[in-house]
Amino acid sequence: MNDIKMVAAFAENKPGQVAHFTKILAGASINIRWLAVASTGPFGVMKFLVSNPEKACEALKHEGFVVKLVDALAIEVPDKPGGLHAVADCLAKHNINLDNASGFTANNRAILVIEVSNHDLAHAVLQKQGFHVLEQKELPV
Amino acid sequence: MFRDQKIETLDRPALEQLQLQRLRKTVRRVAAHVPFYRQKFAELGVKPADIRSLADLRRLPFTGSADLRANYPTGLLAMPYDTTLRLHTSSGTTGKPKALFFSRKDVDNAAELCARSFVMTGITHKDVFQNMMTYGMFTGALVTHYGAEKIGCLVIPAGPGNSERQLMLMQDFRTTFIHLTPSYALYLATFLEKHGVDPRRDLALRKAFVGAEPYTEETCRKIEEGLGLDVYNSYGLSEMNGPGIAFECVQKHGMHLWEDHFLIEIIDPQTGEPLPDGEAGELVMTTLTREAMPLLRYRTRDITSIITRPCPCGRTHRRLNRIAGRSDDMLIVRGVNIYPQQIERVLMAASGVGRNYLISLEGLDEMTIKVELAEAGFEGQVEQLMKLQGQLAEKLRTEILIKPQVQLLPPGSLPVSEGKAKRVIDNRKL
């Protein structure tokens, strides 16, 4: 399987940090598909889904940032009541913890991005349940 | 490898006889020419003739850095001003510097001791020496420069900083040894890494003499790893010629202090009482061959201990342990005495953080250790970083007995020093 990789970058928690990253990625012709920022006190971690995670990592490293590719699952969820619940329930039944989750719906498509305690198991059980787990190549370039 | 085998391996009784003879000469010299010492002798009721054995050293007065400042600029000269040859100053950061005069013989001796120290590690005339210490009033660069020239090395007086140029010089002239501060050495290692230079593959570096700031065993290993060479610890202070006073031999276990030129004592810094060999205390030094400005029992403020065991290298000159800190650098936080080197030791041994750090004291005794995150310490999660901070704080607590805040920063966010590093910022409102 060719799961999507998230680019995680360490940053100080101060104004201008996201702009700094987006400028570097724009300069490397990298399209950002999704972004999340988690911060605590003086620092934070920014996470990106991008067209080319390896290239994004290189570009950020070159500018001196500490970065890491992190496993994530992007799941297409039916846009109807109970759609998200079906995913959460499936994970709960297999005792898989949701570490981070976010999602959004538009044009009748809903994509849920999650990080879980047991990545491979989560992938397998979700697929078995009939969910569409996106591959890296499905992210538009 | 010896430069002066006879003197370097002189048996202890003969060495001590030489020391006594030179001590008596030095005491007579300052009594005759330096009013400051004449007055001190009078206060203590001691005359040059009273110095009959090395044990009588204790009867002589201490000299402190305050005495050097009080007698600035020429008060401690033991020869006419117009016969001196060179002026150095100490790297003091506040007020007037300490003025240090050298006669022609003093300049020559200082260079000779550096030459001895280099040869001790296997340096020969075929070596190429890139000197990355600050040239100027500071003793660090000039004294080693002349020492390496005495051996016949090619000397490149590069000075510190401008790492692009340092790299170019090291590549073009096949530099084999360097002399620099530990903070610049760490920076240079990071610089090479960033520019894709593997020193083992791309450079001819074999040795680094690292000094001018105290540093830990862990830092030494990081420098060796990052620059692909052998690090030799060196000790010196401007008041005593600068570098070349005590260097490591190939055993790399303690630094041989050249006892034919200096008398050493270890004292309790609080009481001034001598401590038994092996116990850690303040190093006190007396010059034995200085002409221009002899100093008696100079309090270095550096904390170390003497290794008395014979060294397998055959030298009889005793060794100093790594400097644990300078008593001036000691911090008192929440009533606990802390040396910055203790913190450095923990950080350098920890994985996941970089080589640069800053100790920040704020408010009412709040200590924050700022350190840069390294790639190996990042797993992409905020929670994991908080855990890393907590683990570092705990490791520090076991070393310094109080628990500091640890703050992770992106690489490159702490100031980089190319001379002496400023590791402590004290903004406490006490």
All residues at 6 or more sequence positions from B408 whose CB lies less than 8 Å from its CB, including other chains = A10, A43, B353, B371, B372, B373, B377, B385, B388, B389
Task: For residue range A68-80, list pLDDT tens digits in order.
Answer: 999 999 999 888 8
DSSP label at B55?
A: G
Q: Which of B6, B41, B1 is nearest to B317 (CA)?
A: B6
Six-digit token string for A98? 């949701």
Domain co-membership, B337 together with B324: no
Domain co-membership, B80 together with B217: yes
Percent of chain A with pLDDT over 90: 60
Domain co-membership, B310 together with B356: no
Domain co-membership, B18 together with B121: yes
Looking at the 3D structure of chain B, how many domains does it have?
2
The whole-model pTM stands at 0.75
Domain co-membership, B341 together with B246: no
Length of chain B: 430
Least CB–CB distance from B411: residue in A40, A66, A70: A66
For Cα atoms B79, B96, B282, give the angle at the middle one, nearest 5 degrees: 80
Confidence (pLDDT) at A64: 87
Last residue of a domain, one of B273, B308, B329: B329
Q: Which of B259, B238, B366, B369 is nearest to B307 (CA)?
A: B259
Maximum C-alpha span of chain A? 45
Six-digit token string for B377? 């310490």
Tell me how close the Cα of B400 comes to any Cα of chain A, in angstroms.
24
Query: Is residue B177 within 8 Å of residue B127, measured between CB atoms?
Result: yes
Between residues A51 and B48, the one the model is more confident about: B48
What CATH number did the domain enclosing B380 receive?
3.30.300.30
Specify the residue for token string 């080197």.
B341
Domain co-membership, B361 together with B266: no
For Cα atoms B67, B68, B71, give the angle at the middle one, nearest 5 degrees: 80
Q: Is the preceding omega at residue B73 within 30 degrees of 0, hence cis?
A: yes
A 45-74 residues inside an 8 A Cβ radius of B: 45, 47, 64-70
Domain co-membership, B176 together with B30: yes
Cα separation, B173 vs B203, whole angstroms: 10
3-class SS letters over B109-158: HHHHHHHHHHHHCCCCCCCEEEECCCCCCCHHHHHHHHHHHHHCCEEECC
Domain co-membership, B301 together with B339: no
Cα separation values, B6 from A114, B65, B249, B312, Å: 74, 34, 16, 16
Last residue of a domain, one of B329, B353, B381: B329
Cα separation values, B408 from A44, A65, B356, B402, Å: 10, 13, 11, 19
Cα separation, B191 vs B86, whole angstroms: 35
Tell me how close the Cα of A100 comes to any Cα of chain B, in angstroms.
10
Cα separation, B221 vs B403, whole angstroms: 26
Confidence (pLDDT) at B313: 97
Domain that holds residue B418: 330-428
Cβ separation B412–A38 shorter than 8 A: no
Q: Is B393 on the interface with A (CB under 8 A)?
A: no
Domains, in order of start, for chain A: 5-70 (3.30.2130.10), 73-138 (3.30.2130.10)
pLDDT, mean of each 10-residue run, chain B (430 residues) = 96 98 98 97 96 96 92 96 94 70 97 97 98 90 97 96 93 97 89 93 96 86 95 92 94 96 94 91 97 97 93 97 81 82 88 89 88 92 93 92 92 76 79
Q: What percentage of chain A's residues is helix, strand, coil (to nearest 5)?
A: 30, 40, 30
Domain co-membership, B258 together with B352: no
Q: Is A28 on the interface with B (CB under 8 A)?
A: no
Confidence (pLDDT) at B122: 97
Domain co-membership, B84 together with B228: yes
Domain co-membership, B268 together with B323: yes
Query: Is residue B319 within 8 Å of residue B311, measured between CB atoms?
Result: yes
Which helix or strand (DSSP H or E) is residue A24 part of?
helix A17-27
Cβ separation B410–A66 shorter than 8 A: yes
What CATH number did the domain enclosing B291 receive?
3.40.50.12780
Maximum C-alpha span of chain B? 73
Cβ separation A43–B409 shorter than 8 A: yes
Query: What is the crossing angle of helices A53-62 and A17-27, to 10°?
Result: 120
One-letter amino acid of B93: T
B 179-208 residues inside an 8 A Cβ radius of A: 194
Specify the residue for token string 């570490």.
A99
Least CB–CB distance from A10: residue in B194, B386, B410: B410
Cα separation, B175 vs B86, whole angstroms: 29
Residue B87: CB atoms within 10 A of its CB come to: 13
> Which chain B residue lies closest to A37 (C-alpha atoms)?
B382
pLDDT band at A106 (very low <50, low <70, confident <90, very high): confident
Here the ipTM equals: 0.86
Cα separation, A128 vs A117, whole angstroms: 18
Last residue of a domain, one of B276, B301, B329: B329
Domain co-membership, B247 together with B108: yes
